[in-house]
Each structure stands twice: as C-alpha cells, then as structure tokens.
Structure 1
C-alpha cells in the first residue's frame, strides 16, 4: 500500500515540473558576429551594420568541410542615434537578434573623425557586447568588409576580422587591438593609441581561376584623447613592430643596391629605452634566423645590414609619427609599463637621440655554417 502511494505521489508531482519548455534552438536565433558603425554626414545620421552568420552550419564543420560556404547576412539601417539604428535592424530581423556573440567591431574613418566618443560610449554601455571583442577601423565600405569570406568554404568566423591573432603570431607588424585595451590606453590623457585598419585585397589569392577579395590589415588610425590624428599605411609603420614587446617574429629582407641578399626572421626582442630631458635613446636586441641566402655574403655582413635596416625602419616610422603629431612608436607606453616614468607623464613630441640595434643570428637554417 505504501509503495503504491509513493509512486502515485511521484507521478502526480511530475506534472508540476516545467522542464525546458521555453528553450530556444540554435536555428531560432540570429547571432550577430560583428557590428559596424558609420556616419552619414549629409543626413547627420549613424549607419549601423550587423553581420549575422548561420551557427547551425558552423557547428557542422567539426565533421569536415561543407559543400558550400555558410551564408553571410548583413543588415544596415540608419538612425539619429546608434540605438535608433539598432532598433530598426531588430524590427526586421524576423527572429530574435542575439548580440552576445559579437567578436569584432569596425568603425569607419568618418566616425573616427566626427563621432568616435558616441560610438565608443554605445559599445561600452551595451550590456550584451563583451569587452574582449576586436576593434578595427576601415577606409572602405563596412558592408564589403563584412562580406569577405575565408578559405575552403569555411565560415567567415575564421578570417582576420574574427581571428586576427593567429596571423599576427606568424607575421608580426601591426598588433590587433581588443576593445578593452583601447579603453585602457585611451583613458590616459594625451597618450597616442591606434586602431588597426582593415581593407580588401584581390592581389594575392585566387580559387577556381577567380581572384577572391580577402581581408588584410593595411595600416592603422592613430588617436589622442579620442581625436583622430591621422592614418598611416603598413609600409610606413614597419618600425612600430620593433618596439612592441608582444611581437613574436617578423622578417627583414637584407638588400644592397636594391638587390636582395638574404632574409632574416627576428624574434625574442629585448627593448631598452632611456630618457635625457626630451631626448629618447633606444636599444633593441633580438635573435635572428636566416631563412634565405640569395647571394654569397658573410654572416657578419648579414648581421650588420639587418641591424641597419631595423634602425632605418624605426627612424622612418618616428618621422611619419611627427607628421601627424602622434607617438606612433608608443615610446610613452613602454616607459609607463616599465615604470621608468613614475607617473602617467606623456613625453611628446620627443627628440630621438639615438637608435642602436643588436641582432644575434643564432641559426642559418637547415644548411649549417653557410
């Protein structure tokens, strides 16, 4: 009798359990993976872009490559405020928009010039957007940036917009920036900060005899107190990498009379900076690995020319920074991080007193002693 009563009570209580009646399947939600903010100067309105990817297709990639690339949906709406534009996007999204999976934000050059503080304030306050997203700028149309795909019919989540760090580890020039890193650096008055700039290139890769537009970091915008100082191309920023303590490895082509002699990969940087008044004295040391030896040349000469090229790149980038009145080499960031300057004191413009470079070539590749 007791056993029967016990099972009756359990059976009756089971009707009171709510279970997962309100759970949403992955295909019932539209996941925003990137947001772009532009500004229409004629209408005086913000233009907001949202990149939406099909996560159900992304999940299937674990079992192999798909038959076709996962589709990319791009939303675009205007508004007097950024929130108004976001609300307009939401009204026509057909399903719920989830903003918690955003991994990148792209700001147009127009926004950097006119309404950067408002754009940063919106992203900073919007509860669903995380602080560790990647921050980019662009001089191109944002919707074209969002349409760029990746290799082998993979999801766009595997391109530079969403995964820039892996490529930087392999070839370090302009380091990607997280949103929280920008906020932390920009909070220091008069400190120069930068935002990597994305562009599209069709010059390098092709598939099925068709050139594909792929993303690349082509330069950077530099700002002080959220005000745009200017934009510099990657070729003018080559010296910036030699003062980046997070630089993993980068290559130098050794030339003489415009003829290539060898190529050397430099890694394990050691940076030393000392000040004398407003003069800055730099000392850079690192290890080199020779990847190519195109002509007969002594190891001593390769070492000397590698050091000379790095010195020249630092000087060139320093001069480019003076042209836009920005500490492009981030000398002040290095001083603050290493506590040479006791408080957040910005020394700019500073005079470059001397640049010395010492590269120890530890390997000549698989061909030893040659």
Structure 2
C-alpha cells in the first residue's frame, strides 16, 4: 500500500513537471523592448521599427563579451500597423516576444496624420501595457534605436528605456507613460505632453563621437488636438513648475553680468481664481527654495534675492504667453475654472474660443527662500 502511494506521488510529480515543457529558454526568443512608428503619406503606409534585446549585452560586466554586440533593429512597411509587424514575424527566428516592451516612439508624421488611429490601435492591443513609455521625434527612428548608452552599454541604459519619474530630474524633463499621457489627453482642460527624443552627436567622444539620447522638448496637445512643439528650455521650466521634486540650475544676471547661480526647487504652484464676467482671471503663487551654488560677483543680498524672484516671474510669464499663442494651457491653471464654472466653460467651448487670454493671468507672485549658501558669505550690511 505504501509502495502504491509512493508510485502515485512520483507519477503526479512527473505530470506537473511536464506542464513546464512548453516554456522557452531565454535564448529561444527575440525580446522586443521598443516599437517605433513612422508614416509615409505619399504611399499611405506605416513604417514599423522593432528594437530587439540581446541578453548577452545586458549581463554583468564580468560576464559580458569582449566584443560589443550590435543592437538588433527590424523594420517593415504595411497599410496597417498589424500588417507591418506581421511581416517581421515571418522573418524572425527566434520568434518575437513583446512581453518586455517598454517604450513606444512616434514620428512627427504619425502625430500629424495618424495619431488618433495609432492611439486606438495601441489601446486595443493587449500586448501593450499602459505603463509603456511614450516619445515623439523628428529624427530617424532607426538611428535612435541604434544609439547606445555610454561605454558601449546597450539602449536599455538610455533615457528611452528608463522608468517614469524614478527620481527628481535636474535640468531635464522626465519620461511619461502612456497611461499618464492619456489621463491628460482626454481632459477638457489642461495640456498633455509627450517628451521628444533627440540624438546628440558631440557631447561625448572616445576615439570617435559617442552619440547619446536626450529628451529635447515636448509635443503639445490640448482638447485631444496636436498643438505643436515646446522647445527644451521652456519644457524644463514647465516640468519644474508642475513637479515639485524637480530641480534646475539657474543663473542670475545683474547689469548684464552673471552675478550668481542657484539650484532651485519649487513647491506646488498655487492657482487662485476670481471670476470676472464670462472669462476667468488667475493669480499664480510660487514658493521657491534656492541653494547658492556660485557667487560670481559681489552684489547685495536683497538685490540678488529680488533679481532672482523677478527673473523667475519672467520665466513663468514667458511660458504662459507661449501657451496662449499656441492655445495650450501649459501650466494647467484652468482646472479650477472648469471644476467650479462648468456652464461658463461650455459656453466658451461652444463659441470656439480658448478659455484663456493674455489678460487671464493677472499676477504672478514669487517668493524665494535661500536655504543654503555653500560657504559663500554676504556681509551684514548686504543683508
């Protein structure tokens, strides 16, 4: 009886183990980590790029091969995205696997001609996760996919494949997930951003230029419509204002000369609204914590502090004015107006008028607190 029970246990164990026989080894699949999409309006065709991952190239340093392993990039055309990708399925052994897909890169032509169709296709595809990182570019996607990290590290070590908002950014904008973008894209007020990918050819060199990827501005959307591009400098300011964890290095010029540089951290921007007739009016209040990095010339403390506050105020006003020109609420200040004055907002929308004008922003109050001086000193009479 004991022998019979032992035999049954052995057979059951073998049966359970046989269920894993269909699992493929890591080297038996082609792992796709990024999809790029372009569009050819002349032929009405999509161009799809797939970036494959070779696990030998992401192993620990002591186990990596001496010879660098090239990045695998495939491309195909088709009248639909599925038809284009299916062509690469036929040409892929080991077969393609999309379970580790991390990023989606869209060309400006896709944004201009086919963006809403692509969003629908991506939303219907169960293989694409909502935490997929989203980027746009006006550069060659194949070149972007071949760009590696520093020291020959593979593309998984570039900004294209880093997680969304792991830590605070310094003088940079962060990546955004598909889910975070769609949350704002379909909102009736406020803007939605997609970071733009670019290749820098000259910043780093070995015995030849070492190209690196960077996030170089935003593609802008308002009311689910594409509104153009926000350059990198202004995009960094917007990101800094809307994400209190981010920091920027900022130089103050007094009498046309650099006087000091600071590292700035902003607290959450407060929006105060007052209603005047049909259109809203706003006051922005911004508290900034500053750390003195360099004191370049002797200037009284109060003058430095006042100049810093005035300079930040001008930066905020500039960003707001760019948004008005493009009919984009870059600072998302209209949310309170929509929430408490829905009827008035709908009247504006029915008249095809943007809910903000240059006169909507009545005042910007900036308060700077210099919390650290890094061994630099101001004389008592300067304070």
TM-score by length of 2: 0.86
Q: CA RMSD in A?
A: 2.6
Q: 1:326 aligns with which of 316, 325, 328?
A: 328
Per the TM alignment, residue 169 of structure 1 is displaced from its structure 2 partner at its CA by 1.8
Distance (Å, rounded) in 1 between the aligned partners of 2:146 and 2:365: 44
The yes-or-no answer on 1:348 pairing with 2:350 is no
2:316 maps to 314
Q: Deviations over 1:123-166 (max 9, x none)?
A: 11111111001111111111111111101222211110011656
Distance (Å, rounded) in 1 between the aligned partners of 2:270 and 2:3: 82
Q: Deviations over 1:43-70 (max 9, x none)?
A: 0111111111112432x22657653444
Matches within 5 A, 1:55-66: 55-58=55-58, 60-61=59-60, 63=62
Distance (Å, rounded) in 2 between the aligned partners of 1:14 and 1:274: 68
Per the TM alignment, residue 310 of structure 1 is displaced from its structure 2 partner at its CA by 1.0
Tell me, what secondary structure is at the counterpart of 1:348?
A: coil
Runs of 5+ unmatched residues, structure 1: none
Per the TM alignment, residue 8 of structure 1 is displaced from its structure 2 partner at its CA by 5.1
Tell me, what secondary structure is at the counterpart of 1:252?
A: strand
Distance (Å, rounded) in 1 between the aligned partners of 2:164 and 2:255: 35
1:204 maps to 203
Matches within 5 A, 1:1-370: 2=1, 4-7=3-6, 16-17=15-16, 18=18, 20-58=20-58, 60-61=59-60, 63=62, 67-163=66-162, 165=164, 169-189=168-188, 191-208=190-207, 210-277=208-275, 278-333=280-335, 335=336, 341=340, 348-350=355-357, 351-367=360-376
Distance (Å, rounded) in 2 between the aligned partners of 1:117 and 1:244: 26
* Number of aligned residue pairs: 364
Distance (Å, rounded) in 1 between the aligned partners of 2:339 and 2:368: 24
Per the TM alignment, residue 96 of structure 1 is displaced from its structure 2 partner at its CA by 1.7
Distance (Å, rounded) in 2 between the aligned partners of 1:13 and 1:271: 63
For the Cα contact (< 8 Å) 1:310–1:357, is it kept in 2?
yes
Per the TM alignment, residue 309 of structure 1 is displaced from its structure 2 partner at its CA by 1.6
CA separation of 1:164 and 1:258: change in aligned 2, threshold 3 A = farther
For the Cα contact (< 8 Å) 1:74–1:146, is it kept in 2?
yes
Tell me, what secondary structure is at the counterpart of 2:311?
A: helix
Q: Deviations over 1:77-120 (max 9, x none)?
A: 11111111111121111222111211111111111111101111
Distance (Å, rounded) in 1 between the aligned partners of 2:10 and 2:236: 72
Runs of 5+ unmatched residues, structure 2: 347-353
TM-score by length of 1: 0.89
For the Cα contact (< 8 Å) 1:240–1:328, is it kept in 2?
yes
Following TM superposition, where does structure 1 have runs of at least 4 consecutive aligned residues deviating by more than 6 angstroms?
none
Per the TM alignment, residue 235 of structure 1 is displaced from its structure 2 partner at its CA by 2.4
